[in-house]
C-alpha cells in the first residue's frame, strides 16, 4: 500500500473507497512485517514486546504472533485474545503497574506470571493472588521532552526500589528486573541514557542484598515520523542506545522493550471523505466522516498531530476540518492549507496506526471506521 507511486496510490485508494465506502482504516500487512524487522535491525540486542494497547487489531496481533513476537499486555481481554491465537503465556508481560485483583487472578490462571509493580500495595496484591510470580520493579525516570509524560502516573522513586525488591523476596515473589518508560514519542536520547545509568546502579545495589536481577525493560517511546518532511529520529538514536546498552549492562542481562507506536504507527492509513462544507468568517470548513471521537482520537488522548492529505490540486487556503458528530468539540484542525474541496472528496492520513482506532468511540452511535488488511 505504501510502496506504490503517487498515481497508483491514488487509484488504489479510489478503488477501495468505491468498494467499501468511508471511513476506512487500512492496515498494511507488508509494512507490519517490515517494521518488526526494522526494529530488530536497529536494536538487535533488545527483545521487542509489542505494546498491545497501541493497536489491538486482530490482524496486527496475528501478524506479530506469526513472527514470534512477545507482547506487553494490560488487561484480561488483551491476554485472552493473544492466548486464543496461540501466543505462549511465557511470551507475555503484564506491564500495567496497577492491576485489579481479578486481573491478577486471571493472569495466574492463564499462566501469565511476569508482572510489573511500582508500590508495596501492588506487591501485596500480587503475592496474595499470584503467589510465587516473577516481578519487575518499574522506576520513575526522566520524561523530558516526551509527548506523553508517563512518569507522572507510574514509577517508584529510585531510592525506594531496593527495599521493595527485598520485600518482594520476603513475600515469596521472584524479583526479576527493572523497568522504566521514558515517555511516549521520545525524541531526547538522553532520557534513555540517564535511565540506563540509574538502572545500572540499582542492579548493583540489588546484588549487595543477594538479589540477582535478570531483566531490564527499557519500555517504549521510540519515535516515528508523522509528517513527510520529518527526519527518522529513531534511526539516529539507535546507534547511541546500542553502544550504551553494551557498555552499561552485563551480557547476562536480558534487555527487552515495549514498542507500540514504533511497530504499528507507520503501517496504517485513515481514509475519509468530505460529507459537509460551509464558510464561516470567510474561511472554508470541511466536515469529514471521521473525527476526534473516532480514529482521530489520538489528537486528544495522544496529543498527536497528523498530516492531512488530499488528491485535489489547486491553490491552497487555510481551512478548518471538523468531524461528523453533533458536538462542537469535534474540531480536527483549524489551520490546514488545502485546495477548495467538494463533498465526496477524499482526505487521508498516513502513519496513524497507533493510539487512533484503539481509542476510537462510537459517540452519536457512529460506527468506528472499517478496518481492512491490505498488502
Quote the CA–CA distance of 112 and 42 in Å, as a whole number.
29
Residues sharing a CB contact under 8 Å with residue 210, sequence separation 6 or more, in sequence order: none
Residues 6+ apart with CB under 8 A from 349: 269, 270, 272, 296, 306, 307, 308, 309
> What cell was used for 37?
524487522
**Choosing from 186, 267, 304, 326, which is the catalytic residue?**
326
DSSP codes joined into one string, 154-207: --B-HHHHHHHHHHHHHTT-EEEEEE----BT---HHHHHHHHHHHHHHHHHHH
* Residue 221 per-residue DSSP state: -
Residue 51 to residue 298: CA distance in whole angstroms = 16
DSSP letter assigned to residue 231: -
**HSE toward the beta carbon, residue 93, CA cutoff 13 A:** 30
CA distance 234 to 222: 6
Extract the C-alpha cell encoding 201: 546502579
Annotation says 326 is catalytic: yes
Report d(CA 122, CA 97) in Å as an integer. Answer: 8
Catalytic center residues: 326
Amino acid at each position: 500500500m505504501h510502496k506504490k507511486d503517487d498515481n497508483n496510490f491514488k487509484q488504489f485508494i479510489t478503488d477501495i473507497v468505491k468498494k467499501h465506502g468511508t471511513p476506512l482504516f487500512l492496515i498494511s500487512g507488508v509494512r507490519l512485517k517490515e517494521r518488526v524487522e526494522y526494529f530488530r535491525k536497529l536494536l538487535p540486542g533488545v527483545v521487542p514486546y509489542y505494546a498491545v494497547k497501541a493497536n489491538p487489531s486482530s490482524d496486527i496481533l496475528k501478524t506479530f504472533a506469526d513472527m514470534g513476537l512477545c507482547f506487553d499486555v494490560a488487561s484480561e481481554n488483551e491476554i485472552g485474545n493473544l492466548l486464543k491465537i496461540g501466543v505462549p503465556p511465557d511470551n507475555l508481560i503484564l506491564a500495567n503497574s496497577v492491576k485489579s485483583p481479578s486481573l491478577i487472578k486471571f493472569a495466574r490462571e492463564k499462566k501469565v506470571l511476569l508482572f510489573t509493580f511500582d508500590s508495596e500495595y501492588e506487591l501485596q496484591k500480587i503475592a496474595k493472588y499470584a503467589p510465587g510470580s516473577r516481578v519487575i520493579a518499574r522506576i520513575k525516570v526522566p520524561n523530558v521532552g516526551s509527548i506523553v509524560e508517563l512518569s507522572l502516573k507510574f514509577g517508584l522513586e529510585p531510592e525506594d526500589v531496593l527495599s521493595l525488591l527485598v520485600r518482594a523476596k520476603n513475600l515469596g515473589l521472584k524479583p526479576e528486573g527493572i523497568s522504566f518508560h521514558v515517555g511516549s514519542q521520545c525524541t531526547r536520547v538522553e532520557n534513555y541514557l540517564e535511565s540506563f545509568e540509574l538502572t545500572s546502579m540499582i542492579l548493583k545495589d540489588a546484588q549487595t542484598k543477594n538479589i540477582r536481577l535478570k531483566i531490564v525493560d527499557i519500555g517504549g517511546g521510540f519515535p516515528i515520523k508523522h509528517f513527510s518532511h520529518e527526519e527518522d529520529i529513531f534511526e539516529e538514536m539507535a546507534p547511541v542506545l546500542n553502544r550504551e546498552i553494551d557498555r552499561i549492562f552485563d551480557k547476562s542481562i536480558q534487555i527487552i522493550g515495549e514498542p507500540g507506536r514504533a511497530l504499528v504507527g507507520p503501517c496504517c492509513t485513515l481514509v475519509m471523505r468530505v460529507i459537509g462544507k460551509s464558510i464561516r468568517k470567510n474561511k472554508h470548513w470541511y466536515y469529514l466522516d471521521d473525527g476526534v471521537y473516532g480514529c482521530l482520537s489520538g489528537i486528544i488522548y495522544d496529543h498527536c498531530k497528523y498530516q492531512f492529505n488530499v488528491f485535489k490540486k489547486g491553490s491552497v487556503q487555510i481551512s478548518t476540518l471538523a468531524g461528523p458528530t453533533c458536538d462542537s468539540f469535534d474540531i480536527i484542525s483549524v489551520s490546514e492549507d488545502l485546495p477548495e474541496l467538494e463533498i465526496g472528496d477524499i482526505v487521508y492520513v498516513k502513519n496513524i496506526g497507533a493510539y487512533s482506532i484503539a481509542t476510537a468511540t462510537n459517540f452519536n452511535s457512529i460506527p468506528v471506521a472499517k478496518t481492512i488488511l491490505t498488502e
